[in-house]
């Protein structure tokens, strides 16, 4: 049996109630909802053969220190209750290592350089090299403006990305910080306080109320101990611990005091195993990074094809001079590179982060916004996320057995509860009164017995002020209370009670019995007239008020919600029923055992996909569930609040830490909610889909402009030996980028289904638009050069070569920018109103372009101003060519795009028929060739580390290297914070 399964223990059972054979006449066992006791076992190895080293002690096949009897623990660890001597502790510290979580070292220089290693940066770097190489030809100086601008952009982007990366919250560090920094340990026979990092297996430790357990241990002494391990296991109730029980490192002692022997430290603790899963991700690149890599590769290949073609045609065919040929190549590189792509997308995401912040959602990884738009499954922790993590009396299910009403039972139970230093159950009972002062109103306290693990009940003796009578009330575990009862106890009552307890247990409700008696005379220690069972209270962790509506909204947006909780199966099912999630849930053990033979599920993946949730899970299980769902092609979000959720939050495409989450959860999450409940997630999903649409619109536009520039100027060079000045392409790119920045606040409608990047569609649209716009320019140049049409019809002068350059510049600048109105709309461009910012930026850019055309006379770039007649001709020409763009879009949808979608649907249906899985795979995740670019990036950096002598000490996490970042995103975020009105456009 694996370690995980042994830990899951009773949580993996289908039902907390074991049926009693009807013919068995024996003492009744009222099985209150809670943990079954796991009987300790003996080590089944020859202890003389076990060496004191980590390989043996943590090998679960040999021995399980968590379950064997404590006597065997001492034998295996070669220690006793007097603790270790300092020399021996130091020796063991060398063997087992420190009791802390190690962080991976990263070399700052390599981490900085890694931000310059991706397809888009490669093309930018290539353009810079071409610009500087011009100094070798034609006797002219190099294009320092282009070279310096590109290099500065690369360095600034890398600097900001490096700064963000180095200062990002580290989940492992947060997990370390939650460990106890000090520990009380017995060394050399004396109790002393040491750094918890110096604890070793075999140490004797002690802790009391309020302390954090410093290492995994087995208790050797426990006095009324209650441990809160909700942040580790997800259990909503503090767990009572007795001698021999295990306590987890990082859990908090809520009551009592204890001593124990340390059985595991550091990464081998339950806490450490959770930490080791954080950041362990086979998917070493983020989703948006893969998309950018593919789009960048598309542009790279397009540019490369025509650059090679120009080299052959211009140099070999036309015998161009070295400088003229490089000028033409530079036109393709500067015009074809979507230099602004990381900038525009980062600005768009920064704006989105600002908008989400208004809904109390803090984005810690900006690219998570894009991934949230495509999320198809939301896995949610239960305790503290779907529920309040505050025990409550379920007043609707109170059972009464005596002459008292339900309100009377609650009041009497409140009498038998502490009003100060309460545990969770006492607090829930007193809170049920509404007015907590009633718990002591009208009575005089004579004696109170608090809960303890032996008696498992509380008891109060009080004098009723109105009558002067002494009365006694007790509450506690059902089996204990009914045994105390002697008055009015009948077979029928016991049968009814047993049925009620079983019903509560099957619904995940914890039963709390209440009994009452009166005492004759004035002696509070005298025996009463016998306890009588008067009621049964149900305790549960209620759902948050807005959770059900949030789940309904998520389902309406096409996002399936699954509950993944460390609590027990019956509790999970009851919570699922109350929230409308469904109760089709499984215990954690199915993740190891797989579906039952003969069941409706053939594979574990099919079961996970179909389930409404899983119960009794540990961090390893949550991580595995998320990983398997991702393997099925789903983008998966995970919400949680505890350290036990951190690994899954880290693994998920979008990790969401809810309000009140631990530092570990916040450190591993991509989005942190600062408002209670999950309603913010729905706002975030809608907001992310708006942002996704903006990015998709820009991606189509950017790819189309790449095709348009590269193909257009290559054809002009081939057909007319037309040598366009590179500087004017740079002007076009700058004006385009300035306009396109406003897409970050454009008006778009979110989709009602999860979004996904269909790059085949994007590239198809881009090629169609790009070739059409290429035709518009080539046709204009052909008419001007081959005919006198414009001179004859409009009485304009025949343009010189420099004036023709200006005409081409104006035509390309105007219609290229106008294309955005087509790519941003699903119907006719005039049916979807753009934002004021976009429209204003477009008008300003066109005005600037027209002014340049009318007045610029820059000989160094080989352009000359043109007359107003030619400017008018260009505008009319572009309007005529712009109108059919919508019809091209509709034609593409009706033909190529339709066929592509049908083929994809058939492929999905075939896959579903073969596997039985009814799923829609996210198309963009099959990107092996593009992922390999990032893999090569990582291996390149590591090889560089060895080459330059950094040695093997340097390790660079792949997932830490691939985060896209830009200075524009940071500056835009700051600007928007200072000028929030800009986002209203």
Backbone dihedral region of 139: left (phi > 0), alpha (psi from -120 to 50 degrees) or beta? left
Q: CA geometry: angle at 22 spanning 18 and 27, to 5°?
A: 70
Sorted by sequence, the CB contacts under 8 Å of residue 587 that are 6+ apart come out as 8, 11, 12, 13, 14, 569, 614, 615, 616
Among candidate residues 871, 662, 696, 858, the one with its CA nearest the CA of residue 766? 696
Sequence-separated contacts (24+) of 401-406 with Cβ below 8 Å: 401/493, 401/496, 401/497, 401/533, 401/534, 401/535, 401/536, 402/488, 402/516, 402/532, 402/533, 402/534, 402/535, 403/534, 404/516, 404/534, 404/535, 406/535
**Cβ atoms of 534 and 402 closer than 8 Å:** yes
Between CA 88 and CA 78 the distance in angstroms is 11
Which tokens belong to 437?
Answer: 């002062």
**Cβ atoms of 726 and 720 closer than 8 Å:** no
Between CA 877 and CA 776 the distance in angstroms is 8
Q: CA 514: distance to chain centroid?
A: 44
Across the strands, what pairs with 11?
none
Sequence-separated contacts (24+) of 973-979 with Cβ below 8 Å: 973/350, 973/351, 973/353, 973/354, 976/350, 976/351, 976/354, 977/354
Between CA 878 and CA 881 the distance in angstroms is 5
Between CA 732 and CA 817 the distance in angstroms is 9
Task: Give the containing element (helix H, strand E) for 981.
Answer: none
Active site residue 381: yes
Please give the C-alpha separations between residue 626 and each of 233, 281, 551, 609, 859, in angstroms, as whole numbers: 17, 11, 19, 11, 62
Between CA 630 and CA 132 the distance in angstroms is 45
Between CA 543 and CA 671 the distance in angstroms is 22
Tokens 């009940």 belong to residue: 457
Task: Give the containing element (helix H, strand E) for 563.
Answer: strand 560-564
Sorted by sequence, the CB contacts under 8 Å of residue 806 that are 6+ apart come out as 799, 852, 853, 856, 863, 864, 865, 866
**Cβ atoms of 866 and 854 closer than 8 Å:** yes
Which tokens belong to 260?
Answer: 């124990």
SS3 per residue for 567-618: CCHHHHHHHHHHHCCCCCEEECCHHHHCCCCCCCCCCHHHHHHHCCEEECCC
143, 281, 381, 423: the catalytic one is 381
What CA dihedral angle connects 294, 297, 298 and 302, to 10 degrees?
A: 180
Which tokens belong to 420?
Answer: 């100060």
Across the strands, what pairs with 204?
186, 261
Which tokens belong to 352?
Answer: 């989105």
Which three-class secondary structure state does DSSP give residue 958?
helix
Secondary structure percentages of the chain, helix, strand, coil, to 5: 55, 15, 35
Which tokens belong to 76?
Answer: 């295996």
Please give the C-alpha separations between residue 128 and each of 332, 345, 933, in angstroms, as whole numbers: 13, 22, 21
Between CA 688 and CA 949 the distance in angstroms is 44
Among candidate residues 475, 448, 451, the one with its CA nearest the CA of residue 460? 448
Q: Which residues are catalytic?
A: 381
């Amino acid at each position: 049996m694996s370690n995980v399964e042994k830990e899951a223990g009773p949580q993996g059972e289908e039902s907390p109630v074991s049926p009693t054979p009807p013919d068995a006449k024996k003492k009744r066992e009222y099985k209150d909802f809670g943990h079954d006791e796991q009987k300790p076992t003996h080590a089944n190895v020859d202890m003389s053969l076990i060496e004191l080293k980590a390989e043996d002690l943590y090998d679960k096949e040999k021995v399980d220190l968590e379950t064997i009897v404590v006597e065997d623990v001492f034998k295996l660890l070669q220690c006793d209750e007097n603790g270790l001597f300092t020399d021996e502790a130091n020796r063991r510290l060398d063997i087992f290592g420190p009791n802390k979580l190690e962080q991976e070292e990263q070399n700052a220089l390599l981490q900085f350089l890694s931000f310059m290693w991706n397809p888009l940066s490669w093309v930018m770097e290539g353009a810079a090299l071409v610009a500087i190489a011009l100094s070798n030809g034609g006797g002219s100086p190099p294009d320092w403006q282009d070279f310096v601008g590109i290099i500065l952009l690369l360095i600034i982007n890398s600097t900001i990305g490096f700064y963000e990366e180095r200062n990002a919250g580290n989940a492992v560090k947060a997990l370390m910080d939650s460990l106890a920094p000090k520990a009380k340990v017995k060394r050399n026979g004396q109790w002393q306080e040491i750094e918890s990092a110096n604890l070793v297996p075999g140490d004797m430790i002690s802790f009391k109320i309020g302390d954090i357990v410093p290492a995994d241990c087995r208790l050797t002494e426990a006095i009324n101990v209650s441990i809160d391990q909700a942040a580790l296991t997800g259990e909503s109730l503090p767990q009572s611990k007795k001698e021999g029980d295990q306590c987890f490192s990082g859990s908090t002692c809520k009551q009592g005091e204890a001593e124990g022997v340390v059985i595991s430290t550091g990464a081998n603790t339950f806490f450490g195993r959770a930490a080791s899963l954080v950041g362990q991700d086979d998917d070493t690149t983020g989703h948006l990074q893969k998309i950018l890599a593919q789009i960048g590769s598309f542009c790279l290949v397009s540019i490369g094809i025509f650059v090679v073609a120009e080299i052959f045609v211009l140099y070999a065919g036309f015998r161009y001079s070295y400088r003229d040929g490089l000028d033409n190549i530079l036109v393709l590189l500067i015009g074809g590179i979507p230099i602004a792509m990381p900038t525009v997308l980062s600005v768009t995401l920064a704006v989105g982060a600002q908008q989400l912040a208004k809904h109390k959602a803090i984005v810690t990884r900006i690219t998570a916004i894009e991934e949230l738009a495509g999320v198809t499954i939301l896995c949610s922790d239960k305790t503290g996320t779907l529920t309040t993590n505050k025990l409550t009396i379920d007043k609707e299910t109170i059972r009464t057995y005596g002459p008292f009403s339900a309100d009377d039972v609650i009041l009497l139970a409140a009498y038998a509860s502490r009003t100060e230093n309460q545990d969770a159950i006492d607090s829930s009972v007193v809170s049920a009164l509404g007015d907590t002062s009633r718990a002591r109103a009208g009575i005089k306290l004579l004696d109170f017995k608090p809960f303890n693990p032996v008696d498992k009940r509380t008891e109060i003796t009080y004098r009723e002020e109105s009558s002067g009578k002494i009365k006694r009330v007790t509450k506690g575990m059902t089996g204990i209370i009914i045994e105390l009862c002697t008055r009015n106890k009948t077979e029928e009552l016991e049968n009814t009670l047993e049925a009620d307890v079983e019903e509560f247990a099957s619904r995940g409700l914890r039963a709390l019995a209440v009994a009452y008696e009166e005492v004759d005379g004035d002696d509070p220690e005298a025996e009463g007239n016998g306890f009588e069972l008067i009621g049964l209270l149900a305790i549960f962790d209620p759902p948050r008020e807005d959770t059900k509506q949030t789940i309904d909204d998520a389902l309406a947006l096409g996002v399936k919600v699954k509950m993944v909780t460390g609590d027990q199966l019956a509790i999970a099912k009851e919570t699922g029923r109350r929230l409308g999630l469904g109760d089709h849930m499984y215990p954690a053990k199915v993740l190891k055992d797989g579906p039952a033979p003969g069941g409706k599920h053939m594979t574990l993946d099919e079961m996970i996909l179909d389930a409404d949730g899983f119960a009794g899970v540990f961090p390893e299980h949550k991580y595995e569930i998320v990983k398997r769902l991702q393997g099925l092609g789903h983008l998966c979000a995970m919400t949680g609040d505890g350290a036990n959720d951190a690994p899954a939050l880290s693994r998920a495409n979008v990790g969401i830490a809810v309000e009140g989450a631990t530092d570990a959860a916040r450190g591993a999450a991509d989005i942190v909610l600062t408002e209670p409940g999950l309603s913010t997630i729905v706002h975030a999903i809608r907001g992310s889909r708006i942002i996704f649409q903006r990015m998709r619109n820009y991606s189509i536009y950017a790819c189309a402009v790449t095709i348009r520039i590269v193909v257009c100027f290559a054809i002009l060079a081939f057909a007319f030996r037309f040598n366009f000045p590179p500087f004017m392409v740079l002007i076009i790119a700058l004006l385009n980028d300035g306009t396109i920045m406003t897409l970050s606040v454009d008006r778009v409608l979110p989709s009602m289904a999860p979004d996904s990047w269909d790059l085949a569609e994007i590239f198809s649209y881009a090629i169609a638009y790009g070739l059409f716009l290429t035709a518009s320019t080539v046709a204009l140049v052909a008419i001007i050069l081959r005919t006198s049409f414009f001179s004859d019809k409009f009485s304009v002068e025949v343009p010189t070569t420099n004036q023709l350059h200006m005409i081409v510049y104006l035509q390309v600048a105007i219609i290229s920018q106008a294309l955005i109105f087509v790519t941003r709309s699903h119907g006719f461009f005039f049916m979807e109103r753009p934002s004021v910012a976009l429209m204003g930026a477009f008008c300003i850019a066109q005005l600037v372009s027209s002014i340049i055309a009318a007045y610029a006379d820059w000989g160094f770039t080989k352009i000359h101003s043109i007359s107003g007649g030619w400017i008018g001709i260009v505008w009319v020409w572009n309007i005529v060519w712009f109108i059919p763009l919508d019809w091209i879009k509709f034609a593409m949808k009706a033909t190529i795009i339709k066929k592509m979608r049908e083929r994809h649907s058939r492929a999905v249906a075939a896959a579903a028929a073969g596997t039985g899985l009814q799923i829609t795979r996210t198309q963009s995740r099959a990107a092996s060739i593009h992922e390999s670019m990032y893999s090569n990036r990582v291996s390149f950096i590591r090889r560089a580390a060895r080459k330059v002598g950094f040695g093997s000490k340097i390790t660079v996490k792949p997932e830490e290297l691939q985060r896209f970042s830009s200075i524009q995103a940071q500056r835009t975020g700051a600007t928007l914070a200072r000028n929030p009105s800009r986002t209203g456009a």
